Copies of this chain bind each other. A is one copy, B any other.
Amino acid sequence: MSIANTPEPPYVAVIFTSVRTPVDEGYAVTSEEMVSMAAGQPGFLGMESARGTDGLGITVSYWRDMESVRAWKAVAEHRTAQRLGRERWYRAYRTRISLVEREYGFSTER
Contact = CB atoms under 8 A, between A and B. Distances in A.
Contacts of A57: 50
Contacts of A92: 3, 105-109
Interface residues of A, number: 42
Interface string A72-110: 000000000000001000111111111111111111110
B93 A3 contact: yes
B100 A96 contact: yes
A108 to B, nearest CB: 5
A39 interface: no
A66 to B, nearest CB: 8
B99 A101 contact: yes
Contact of A56 (B2, B18, B104): B2
A24 interface: no
A6 B17 CA distance: 12
Interface of A: 1-4, 6, 9, 13, 15, 17-19, 48-52, 54, 56-58, 60, 86, 90-109
Given A3-B19, A99-B101, 15 more contacts: A1-B52, A2-B56, A3-B92, A3-B94, A13-B98, A50-B51, A50-B56, A50-B58, A92-B105, A92-B107, A92-B109, A94-B105, A97-B101, A98-B99, A98-B100
